[in-house]
């Protein structure tokens, strides 16, 4: 009798050990991605309606539930910038819009004003670009304009309307003025991402912002090299019908790397580039320096990229908001 009891007890211990081991593994598998750290792993709270045999999901590559999707978009909201924000006469900024984290480049790079404010990303890229120009023997390059608040843009626009009013009726004068000076709320300068350049020689003239700038050594260098630093020539003559602005060879816009090279290589203005990414959904691009990127369009109704094997929050290097809950994300592969 004692032998039977001993055998029964031994079997019970063995079965209990096997069950505990199995249960521990299941719990570990379910909880392995619960922890959230600074690298961007997504927390997941298990619901009470988990079906038996539900497959464990890798948070680094798969987003399949509403809670996961909301966690990713919450990450995007916290990490977003406005480097690809589209501002034109069809996409206006509010009177109260002000860029965050602006810095003064005056005194650091040659400029015509005592204060030359820019968003941090553009500010840092500008300094690097000036160093690059200097290393290649380019001197006499000046920054003429950076961030402009809504109120100052209003002054510039109204002055241009008044100048045309002597030749045209008021509505025509406004239309003509808007082709040269952006209507308040439609100026990229309000973002702190746009810069007007000129040369030392042109600064001696009545108007340093002229078409001739493109033929100066400074203008030619910017045209050929600005994309390496995240800038693009914003208003090309052949894109006037799309941008709504005439040729401005002095006006450069910071959009970041690798977008600047892709736009320049494919001869796309910002309006075209945003539409291109939205249509393609995912663009794989290798830049001049051999770096490979994934550029994708994401919105809650269209987030297939989040299901791809390439997607990982650890690879996200930039999140740019282009509309309400619409983002262009950039991953370095």
Domain containing residue 77: CATH number: 3.30.200
Q: Which of 254, 280, 297 is the endpoint of a domain?
A: 254
| Residue among 121, 188, 248, 321 flagged as catalytic | 248
The dihedral sign for the CA sequence 324, 234, 232, 107? negative
Question: What does the pLDDT read at residue 9?
Answer: 47
Quick check: is 33 in a domain? Answer: no
Quick check: is 225 in a domain? Answer: yes
Question: What does the pLDDT read at residue 66?
Answer: 65
pTM: 0.78
Tokens of 144: 């003429």
Please list the pLDDT of the chain residue by residue as tens digits (333 residues).
544 444 444 544 444 444 333 333 432 333 322 333 333 333 333 444 444 434 334 444 455 566 688 888 999 999 999 999 999 989 999 999 999 899 999 999 999 999 999 999 999 999 999 999 999 999 999 999 999 999 999 999 999 999 999 999 999 999 899 878 889 999 999 999 999 999 999 999 999 999 999 999 999 999 999 999 999 999 999 999 999 888 999 999 999 999 999 999 999 999 999 999 999 999 999 998 899 999 999 998 888 888 888 888 899 999 999 998 999 999 999
Separation CA 82–CA 16 (nearest Å): 58
Segment 300-315, tens digit of pLDDT: 888 888 888 888 889 9
The three-class DSSP label of residue 319 is strand
Asked if residue 302 and residue 203 are part of one domain, the reply reads no
Asked if residue 297 and residue 207 are part of one domain, the reply reads no
Tokens of 285: 């691009």
Asked if residue 222 and residue 102 are part of one domain, the reply reads yes
Q: 267 φ, ψ to 5°?
A: 55, 50
Separation CA 91–CA 185 (nearest Å): 8
Asked if residue 77 and residue 144 are part of one domain, the reply reads no
Segment 179-224, tens digit of pLDDT: 788 899 999 999 999 999 999 999 999 999 999 999 999 999 999 9
Residue among 288, 143, 156 at smallest CA distance from 230: 288
Quick check: is 325 in a domain? Answer: yes
pLDDT exceeding 70 applies to what percent of the chain?
Answer: 80
Asked if residue 211 and residue 101 are part of one domain, the reply reads yes
Is 314 labeled as catalytic in the residue annotation?
Answer: no
Q: Which residues of 181-214 are buried (b: 16+ CB within 10 A; e: fewer)?
A: bbbbbbbbbbbbbbbbbbbeebeeeeebbeebbb
Domain that holds residue 320: 58-84+267-333
Separation CA 34–CA 55 (nearest Å): 15
Quick check: is 126 in a domain? Answer: yes
Total domains, the chain: 2
Helices (DSSP H) in the chain: which residue ranges?
Answer: 2-31, 66-79, 120-135, 150-164, 170-178, 217-225, 240-243, 259-265, 270-280
Question: What does the pLDDT read at residue 167?
Answer: 93
Q: 90 φ, ψ to 5°?
A: -105, -10
Stated length of the chain = 333
Q: Which of 202, 230, 254 is the endpoint of a domain?
A: 254
The CATH number for 167's domain is 3.30.1380.10
Separation CA 201–CA 222 (nearest Å): 16
Asked if residue 230 and residue 158 are part of one domain, the reply reads yes
Asked if residue 239 and residue 101 are part of one domain, the reply reads yes
Asked if residue 154 and residue 75 are part of one domain, the reply reads no
Question: What does the pLDDT read at residue 185?
Answer: 95
């Amino acid at each position: 009798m004692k032998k039977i009891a001993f055998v029964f007890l031994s079997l019970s211990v063995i079965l209990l050990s096997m069950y505990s081991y199995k249960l521990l593994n299941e719990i570990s598998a379910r909880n392995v991605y619960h922890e959230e750290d600074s690298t961007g792993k997504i927390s997941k709270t298990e619901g009470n309606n988990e079906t038996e045999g539900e497959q464990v999901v890798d948070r680094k590559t798969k987003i399949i539930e509403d809670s996961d999707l909301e966690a990713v978009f919450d990450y995007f909201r916290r990490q977003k910038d406005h480097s690809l924000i589209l501002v034109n006469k069809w996409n206006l900024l509010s009177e109260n819009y002000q860029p965050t984290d602006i810095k003064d480049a005056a005194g650091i790079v040659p400029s015509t004003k005592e204060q030359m404010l820019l968003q941090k990303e553009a500010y840092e890229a500008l300094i690097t670009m000036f160093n690059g120009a200097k290393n290649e023997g380019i001197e006499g390059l000046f920054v003429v304009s950076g961030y402009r608040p809504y109120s100052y843009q209003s002054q510039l626009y109204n002055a241009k309307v008044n100048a045309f009013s002597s030749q045209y009726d008021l509505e025509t004068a406004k239309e003509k003025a808007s082709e040269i000076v952006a209507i308040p709320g439609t100026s990229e300068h309000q973002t702190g991402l746009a810069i007007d350049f000129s040369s030392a020689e042109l600064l001696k003239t009545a108007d340093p912002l002229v078409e001739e700038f493109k033929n100066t050594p400074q203008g030619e260098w910017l045209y050929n090299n600005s994309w390496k630093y995240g800038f693009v020539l914003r208003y090309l003559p052949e894109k006037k019908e799309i941008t709504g602005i005439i040729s401005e060879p002095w006006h450069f816009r910071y959009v970041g790397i690798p977008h600047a090279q892709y736009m320049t290589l494919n001869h796309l203005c910002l309006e075209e580039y945003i539409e291109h990414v939205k249509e393609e959904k995912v663009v794989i691009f290798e830049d001049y320096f051999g770096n490979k990127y994934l550029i994708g369009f994401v919105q809650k109704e269209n987030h297939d990229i989040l299901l791809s094997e390439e997607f990982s929050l650890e690879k996200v290097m930039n999140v740019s908001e282009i509309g309400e809950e619409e983002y262009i994300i950039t991953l370095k592969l």
